[in-house]
Amino acid sequence: MGFSYIIPFPTAWRAPVAIEDEAAGKALAAWINSTAGRLMLLNRRGQKLTYLTWQPAHLREVRIPKPESPGWDALEGAFQKACRTELLPLRQAEACTARRIIDAAAAEVLGIGEDVIAGWRRRLSVEPTVTNRRAEASPRG
């Protein structure tokens, strides 16, 4: 039997979820705040980034690792390490210690190198919808 849980991470939004226990809630909070989790949410939006208006349909489409999957415990551990550290806005992701901690656990879940997720984080931090700047054309070569 699950219970309702508010994701308690120092994030810009809150979402009630049904989980089995508090440890699962912590792992889920780390996952949804990881760069991989944010990319999935951003991929579902239809307009400028608006944290507080994620629709339940958006949240249902985010892929969540199963608790028995490799790396799940790392997500809970990342929550424990990062929960008292400020989670900076995505545009400051490169300077965010909490994001690096939870992204390391997310990389373990995904079976990819931390350098891969760091590249996603770096590119996401300069995304026009994240920075609220106009997109610039890249030089052709």
The helix, strand and coil proportions of the chain, stated in percent and rounded to the nearest 5, come to 55, 5, 40
* pLDDT tens sequence across 83-128: 888 888 888 888 999 999 999 999 999 999 999 999 999 988 887 7
Instruction: Encode pLDDT of 5-60 as tens digits.
Output: 444 444 445 566 677 788 888 898 898 889 998 888 776 655 554 554 566 676 67
- The C-alpha atoms of residue 57 and residue 128 are separated, in whole angstroms, by 24
Written as six digits, the tokens of 47 are 């307009």
- How many percent of the chain have pLDDT more than 90? 29
Q: What is the pTM of this model?
A: 0.76
Q: Which pLDDT does position 3 carry in this prediction?
A: 37
Single out the residue of 92, 65, 59 nearest to residue 78, CA to CA. 65
